């Protein structure tokens, strides 16, 4: 059994959780394959949601003034390593060409405004 489990590197606590899950499945007369099918279906559903969220983000996000790509939003002036020397609280950055657009609003304020 140890040889079978070794490649997964599960902690003993995780193994106990898995054992509890398998006992629950057995107690409820649910074949293990049904659980596997559930996890695979859930993976597909989550991928669809992530893709949908990404598409919605790209539709609502600021487009790069130079190349029209959807820009990414980051906080600035929050820690010593991201000081800009001005009153900016966030920056749009283009992942394609590196163009930046600084904002006086925080990331949270901008995201709230996008809803
Ligand atoms: Zn760009």
- Measured in Å, residue 113 CA sits from the centre of ligand 1 at 22
Q: Is 56 a residue whose pLDDT tops 90?
A: no
- What letter does residue 95 receive in the DSSP assignment? T
Domain ranges of the chain: 1-60, 62-115
- Measured in Å, residue 80 CA sits from the centre of ligand 1 at 27
- Measured in Å, residue 7 CA sits from the centre of ligand 1 at 43
- Measured in Å, residue 42 CA sits from the centre of ligand 1 at 35
Q: Is 65 a residue whose pLDDT tops 80?
A: yes
**pTM of the complete model:** 0.58
- Measured in Å, residue 109 CA sits from the centre of ligand 1 at 23
CA distance 40 to 22: 17
Number of neighbouring beta carbons within 10 Å of residue 64:
20
Quick: pLDDT tens for 66-85: 999 999 999 999 888 889 99
């Amino acid at each position: 059994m140890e040889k079978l489990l070794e490649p997964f590197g599960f902690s003993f606590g995780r193994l106990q959780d898995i054992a509890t899950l398998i006992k629950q499945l057995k107690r409820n007369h649910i074949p293990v394959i049904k659980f596997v099918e559930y996890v695979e279906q859930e993976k597909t559903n989550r991928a669809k949601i992530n893709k949908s969220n990404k598409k919605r983000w790209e539709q609502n996000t600021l487009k790069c003034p130079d190349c029209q790509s959807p820009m990414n939003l980051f906080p600035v002036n929050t820690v010593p390593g991201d000081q800009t020397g001005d009153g900016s609280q966030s920056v749009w950055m283009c992942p394609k060409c590196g163009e930046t657009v600084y904002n006086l609003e925080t990331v949270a304020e901008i995201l709230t405004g996008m809803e």
